[in-house]
Amino acid sequence: MDRLALNNGVNMPLLGLGTYGLRGRDCERCVLEALELGYRLFDTAQMYGNEREVGHAFRCSGLSRGELFVTTKLYRSRASYAGAKQGIEASLNALQLDFIDLLLIHEPYREAEEMYSALEESYRAGRLRAIGVSNFNVSRYEAFLHACMVIPAVNQVETHIFFQQRALLEVMKKRGTHMQAWSPFAAGKKDFFSNPVLRALGLAYNKTPAQIALRYLIQLGISVIPKSSHRERMRENLDIFDFHLHNEDMLRIRALDGGKTLFGWY
């Protein structure tokens, strides 16, 4: 699995499994299957209600803690300094882990700055290996930087071929925050997997539309967390590190950017 170094030197896999919508036994099965296939990063959140299952699957896998990378997120019910403090303990407890690899503030809450102070304290105490935010647009991200001591390692945002977030990517690159794409398939919206450009490129490279779409983001320096509950699709989504899209093909995909969210979050 290819990795990147975050702004504090922590290594993070470039691709992981998204777990939104995976619950109970099914979640455990998916995480275990993904681990068998070679996934090492798992994206969960308090809001998803599956931290316990993700942590349980880790323990069942027999893999050492150092091989795994878990991201989780604090939701709005934790939107205060004290709430974030408790939220960190709640996630550690649910995951049954001594530390979390990456903890994000799920959305740009009004109280995000005070929440982040709590994250910074736990980061310094070694309970969080990296900290960051999610769903911050350019203006909210820039305002946030004035208030924080630790530059966010990651901003996880909606990013896919139809909403490529180039302005945000450039701003964050200058400040040292990595962009991670949620819904890298736009959750299948707009007939994603039948897109003619992705299909044509898939034929040319002997890859699937899904693989072309993920590879595009990886080549822009954006990590991805596609979700699938099907083993074969998990395998397919992981198999993107053995080819390279040529520049003219990158430009064809770039032209698909509509510049607008498909989820109405901004």
Structure tokens at 16: 């992981």
Q: In the complex with ligand NAP, which residue's Cβ is closer, 22 or 171?
A: 22
d(CA 179, CA 134): 9
Q: In the complex with ligand NAP, which residue's Cβ is closer, 47 or 145?
A: 47
**Smallest distance from ligand NAP to CB 4, Å:** 18
Q: Is 91 among the residues that bind ligand NAP (CB under 6 A)?
A: no
Non-local (6+) Cβ contacts of 115 within 8 A are 74, 78, 79, 80, 81, 83, 84, 105, 109
Q: Could you give the residue ranges of the DSSP H alpha helices within 163-207?
A: 166-175, 196-205
48 in catalytic set: yes
Structure tokens at 136: 């911050």
Question: What residue has token string 């980061």?
Answer: 123
**Smallest distance from ligand NAP to CB 120, Å:** 20
Contact window for ligand NAP (CB under 6 A) among 92-100, 119-127, 185-193, 195-203 = 185-193
Non-local (6+) Cβ contacts of 99 within 8 A are 92, 126, 127, 128, 129
Give, as ranges, the residues between 122 and 151 that touch ligand NAP (CB under 6 A): 134-135
Of 39, 48, 109, 116, the catalytic one is 48
Q: Which of 46, 165, 195, 228 binds ligand NAP (CB under 6 A)?
A: 228
Instruction: Point out the residues that are catalytic.
Output: 48
Query: Which residues contact ligand NAP (rule: CB under 6 A)?
Result: 18-20, 43, 106, 134-135, 156, 182-188, 193, 210, 225-230, 233, 236-237
